[in-house]
Amino acid sequence: MAAAAPPPPPTATPEPNMNPQTSTIGHPLFSRIRLATPHDVPSIHKLIHQMAVFERLTHLFSATESNLSSSLFTSPPFKSFTVFLLEVSRSPFPPSSLSQDSFTPLLKTHNLDLPIEDPESYNFTPDMLSDVVVAGFVLFFPNYSSFLGKPGFYIEDIFVREPYRRKGFGRELLSAVAKQAVKMGYGRVEWVVLDWNVNAIRFYEQMGAEVLQEWRVCRLTGDALLAFDNVNI
Amino acid sequence: MAAAAPPPPPTATPEPNMNPQTSTIGHPLFSRIRLATPHDVPSIHKLIHQMAVFERLTHLFSATESNLSSSLFTSPPFKSFTVFLLEVSRSPFPPSSLSQDSFTPLLKTHNLDLPIEDPESYNFTPDMLSDVVVAGFVLFFPNYSSFLGKPGFYIEDIFVREPYRRKGFGRELLSAVAKQAVKMGYGRVEWVVLDWNVNAIRFYEQMGAEVLQEWRVCRLTGDALLAFDNVNI
Option in A2, A204, A220 nearest B208 (CB): A220
Give residue-wise pLDDT tens across range A45-74.
999 999 999 888 899 999 999 999 999 999
Chain A residues within 8 A of B68 when measuring between CB atoms: 146, 149
Give residue-wise pLDDT tens across range A196-221.
999 999 999 999 999 999 999 999 99
H/E stretch holding A50 reads helix A41-54
pLDDT value of position A25? 61
Return d(Cα A15, Cα A110) in angstroms, integer: 8
pLDDT value of position B133? 97
Smallest CA–CA distance from A218 into chain B, residue? B211
- Most B CBs within 10 A among A70, A217, A223, A230, hence the mutation to make, goes to A217
Chain B residues within 8 A of A149 when measuring between CB atoms: 48, 62-64, 67-68, 71
Give residue-wise pLDDT tens across range B48-82.
999 999 888 899 999 999 999 999 999 999 999 99
Would you call A145 and B151 a contact, using CB atoms and an 8 Å cutoff?
Answer: no
Smallest CA–CA distance from A19 into chain B, residue? B232
What ipTM does this complex have?
A: 0.86
Nearest C-alpha neighbor of A159 from the set A42, A30, A32, A3? A3
**CA dihedral sign of residues A59, A60, A66, A69:** negative
> Which amino acids of B are annotated catalytic?
204
pLDDT band at B127 (very low <50, low <70, confident <90, very high): confident
Known catalytic membership, residue A186: no
pLDDT band at A19 (very low <50, low <70, confident <90, very high): very low
Please check whether residue B209 is in contact with residue A219, taking contact to mean a CB–CB distance below 8 angstroms: yes
What pTM does this model have? 0.87
Would you call A147 and B187 a contact, using CB atoms and an 8 Å cutoff?
Answer: no
User: How large is the average pLDDT for residues B226-233?
Assistant: 86
Does the structure show a pLDDT above 50 at B119?
yes
Chain B residues within 8 A of A48 when measuring between CB atoms: 146-147, 149
